[in-house]
């Protein structure tokens, strides 16, 4: 009997194992189904059916064996048990094989899944790094106006801190109501790209941005989000304004001599010159105005050539004091018209520079003519030149008793097209002369320009320029 009981227990255990393995299979399959979908779920149903059949068959067999043992027919019970046991063992072996195969498949799928997950995370990180590194502000909201992405540039622009984990309505994070309204409007209009110029105040400065707002659409064509990209165009706007001012100034400056040429030529044609002397006067005016026109065009072209590095430079040694004397003679008549006196330095030795004489002459003439232009009648202009032996350079200063420049404007006077607002009414100009001085001194001759000024008292413009090397050596020796 004891043997019989052991046999029965074995059968029950085996049946239990079979049941457990089925259950494991089922549970695993359900897990997989959760991950991979309904296909394997269907497999689980099939396993469940087979499990039910197997369990039912085992119960029936147990009942038969128990009956044989109760009827004192142990041989038949053993035979029945063995008969029952063999397919059960086969079933277990098969389930075990299936289970191992499925486990292997699942492990492989899991590894693939993990790999894909890592790749996706890396891709997301890369995309975020790119978005965060660009200088343009990028802001993304979802279909419910919640902020889901904002890069560092946008945080700086609108002064907020983006929290990836806290999904909040964009209007609660960004306070610029005009920008928020544009994003709403774009989302509602469902337009692919809408471009706006918007102004944003940052640190007391008004900046202009080119704002492109695009709708993100799902497969059904519904708006699922809105992306805004803001590009700072403040500098471009400023350059554009300066260019417009420049065109306006230059066209006026060009048209003035052209107007004279045109008018006097017409007067000659119409016989308005009453005598030969007047005819000659008219012709001289035409000639001088044509030269003026040419000088202006040359000035514009020179700045352009120096900036682009295309200007031909002819450097030769010459005395700075002599050049100053020669240049001041060219301004004399202009200064006399305003009864302005000019004091120039006496020729000194050891003041040779290795430079382009025409260009440096242009520098001195521009500084002198500016001084005359902005000095009231009866004023005085002093030109000084000092050789700094230790620094191996020469310093030239042009001081006037003119109107002076307000402190805020001093640092801009060498900027291209810049004109001191307060002095615009004192004299005409293009805002090119001092820029040309700076370009010639600093870009072509490795020197440096400087200016000091006081409103109502006058200004001192000047430059330092290296002495000719051979000569500088003599000085230092």
Partner 1 sequence: MAHRKALVVDDEIHIVQVVAIKLRNNGFDVTTAENGAVGLELAGEICPDIIVTDFQMPVMTGLEMIENLRKQESTKDIPVIMLTARGFAIEEGQKESLKISAFLSKPFSPREVLKTIEETLDTAAVI
Interface ranges with partner 1 (CB under 8 A): 248, 251-252, 255-256, 258-264, 266-267, 270, 272, 274, 285, 289, 424-428
209 and 254 Cβ atoms separated by less than 8 Å: no
- Looking at beta carbons only, is 64 or 267 nearer to partner 1? 267
Q: How far is the CB of 424 from partner 1 (least distance, A)?
A: 8
- Looking at beta carbons only, is 373 or 397 nearer to partner 1? 373
- Looking at beta carbons only, is 192 or 262 nearer to partner 1? 262
- Looking at beta carbons only, is 379 or 462 nearer to partner 1? 379
Q: How far is the CB of 400 from partner 1 (least distance, A)?
A: 17
Distance from the first to the final alpha carbon of the chain? 129
- Looking at beta carbons only, is 274 or 314 nearer to partner 1? 274
- Looking at beta carbons only, is 289 or 362 nearer to partner 1? 289
3-state SS of the chain is CHHHHHHHHHHHHHHHHHHHHHHHHHHHHHHHHHHHCHHHHHHHHHHHHHHHHHHHHHHHHHHHHHHHHHCCCHHHHHHHHHHHHHHHHHHHHHHHHHHHHHHHHHHHHHHHHHHHHHHHHHHHHHHHHHHHHCCCEEEEEECCCEEEEECHHHHHHHCCCCCCCCCCEHHHHCCCHHHHHHHHHHHHHCCCEEEEEEEEEECCEEEEEEEEEEEEECCCCCEEEEEEEEEECHHHHHHHHHHHHHHHHHHHHHHHHHHHHHHHHHHHHCCCCCCHHHHHHHHHHHHHHHHHHHHHHHHHHHHHHHHHCCCCCCEEEEEHHHHHHHHHHHHHHHHHHCCCEEECCCCCCCCEEEEEHHHHHHHHHHHHHHHHHCCCCCCEEEEEEEEECCCCEEEEEEEECCCCCCHHHHCCCCCCCCCCHHHCCCCCCCCCHHHHHHHHHHHHCCCEEEEEEECCCEEEEEEEEECCHHHHHHHHC
- Looking at beta carbons only, is 16 or 376 nearer to partner 1? 376
Q: How far is the CB of 413 from partner 1 (least distance, A)?
A: 18
- Looking at beta carbons only, is 261 or 455 nearer to partner 1? 261
21 and 96 Cβ atoms separated by less than 8 Å: yes
- Looking at beta carbons only, is 202 or 424 nearer to partner 1? 424
Q: How far is the CB of 284 from partner 1 (least distance, A)?
A: 10
Q: How far is the CB of 258 from partner 1 (least distance, A)?
A: 5
> Which 3 state secondary structure label does DSSP give 144?
coil
Q: How far is the CB of 261 from partner 1 (least distance, A)?
A: 7
- Looking at beta carbons only, is 127 or 288 nearer to partner 1? 288
- Looking at beta carbons only, is 280 or 469 nearer to partner 1? 280
- Tokens standing for residue 406: 């307000």
Q: How far is the CB of 421 from partner 1 (least distance, A)?
A: 13
- Looking at beta carbons only, is 192 or 251 nearer to partner 1? 251
Q: How far is the CB of 132 from partner 1 (least distance, A)?
A: 45
Q: How far is the CB of 253 from partner 1 (least distance, A)?
A: 8
Distance CA 276, CA 268 (A): 11
Task: Please tell me the number of Cα atoms within 13 Å of 247 on its side-chain side.
Answer: 5
- Looking at beta carbons only, is 226 or 340 nearer to partner 1? 340
What is the strand order of the sheet 448-454 is part of? Answer: 341-343, 380-388, 393-400, 458-466, 448-454
Q: How far is the CB of 270 from partner 1 (least distance, A)?
A: 7
Q: How far is the CB of 199 from partner 1 (least distance, A)?
A: 23
Judge residue 443's burial from the number of C-beta atoms within 10 Å of its C-beta, 0-12 exposed, 13-18 middle, 19 or more buried. middle
Q: How far is the CB of 461 from partner 1 (least distance, A)?
A: 20
**φ, ψ for residue 273, nearest 5 deg:** -80, 120
- Tokens standing for residue 383: 């030109």
Q: How far is the CB of 278 from partner 1 (least distance, A)?
A: 8
């Amino acid at each position: 009997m004891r043997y019989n009981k052991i046999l029965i227990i074995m059968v029950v255990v085996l049946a239990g194992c079979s049941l457990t393995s089925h259950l494991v299979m089922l549970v695993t399959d359900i897990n997989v189904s959760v991950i991979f979908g309904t296909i394997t779920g269907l497999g689980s149903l099939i396993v469940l059916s087979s499990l039910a059949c197997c369990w039912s068959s085992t119960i029936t067999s147990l009942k038969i064996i128990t009956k044989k043992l109760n009827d004192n027919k142990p041989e038949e019970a053993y035979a029945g048990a063995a008969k029952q046991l063999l397919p059960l063992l086969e079933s277990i072996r098969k389930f075990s094989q299936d289970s191992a195969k499925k486990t292997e498949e699942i492990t492989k799928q899991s590894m693939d899944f993990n790999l894909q997950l890592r790749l996706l995370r890396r891709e997301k990180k890369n995309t975020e790094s790119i978005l965060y590194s660009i200088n343009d502000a990028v802001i993304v909201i979802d279909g419910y106006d919640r902020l889901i992405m904002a890069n560092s540039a946008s945080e700086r622009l609108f002064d907020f801190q983006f929290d990836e984990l806290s999904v909040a309505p964009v209007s609660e994070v960004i306070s610029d109501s005009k920008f928020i309204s544009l994003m709403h409007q774009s989302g509602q209009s469902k337009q692919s790209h809408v471009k706006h110029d918007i102004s944003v105040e940052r640190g007391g400065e008004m900046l202009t941005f080119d704002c492109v707002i695009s709708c993100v659409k799902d497969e059904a064509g519904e708006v699922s989000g809105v992306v805004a990209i803001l590009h700072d165009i403040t500098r471009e706007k400023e350059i554009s304004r300066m260019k417009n001012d420049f065109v306006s100034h230059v066209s006026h400056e060009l048209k003035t001599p052209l107007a004279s040429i045109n008018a006097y030529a017409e007067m000659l044609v119409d016989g308005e010159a009453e005598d030969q002397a007047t005819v000659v006067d008219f012709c001289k005016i035409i000639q001088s105005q044509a030269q003026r026109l040419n000088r202006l065009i040359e000035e514009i072209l020179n700045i352009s050539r120096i900036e682009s590095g295309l200007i031909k430079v002819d450097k030769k040694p010459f005395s700075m004091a002599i050049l100053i004397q020669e240049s001041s003679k060219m301004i004399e008549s202009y200064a006399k018209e305003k009864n302005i006196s000019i004091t120039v330095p006496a020729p000194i030795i050891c003041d040779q520079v290795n430079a382009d004489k025409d260009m440096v002459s242009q520098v001195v003439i521009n500084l002198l003519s500016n001084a005359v232009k902005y000095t009231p009648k009866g004023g005085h202009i002093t030109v000084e030149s000092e050789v700094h032996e230790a620094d191996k350079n020469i310093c030239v200063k042009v001081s006037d008793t003119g109107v002076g420049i307000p402190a805020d404007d001093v640092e801009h006077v060498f900027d291209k097209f810049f004109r001191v607002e307060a002095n615009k009414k004192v004299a005409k100009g293009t805002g090119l002369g001092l820029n040309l001085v700076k370009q010639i001194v600093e870009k072509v001759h490795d020197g440096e320009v400087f200016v000091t000024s006081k409103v109502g008292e006058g200004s001192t413009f000047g430059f330092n320029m290296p002495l000719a090397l051979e000569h500088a050596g003599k000085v230092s020796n």
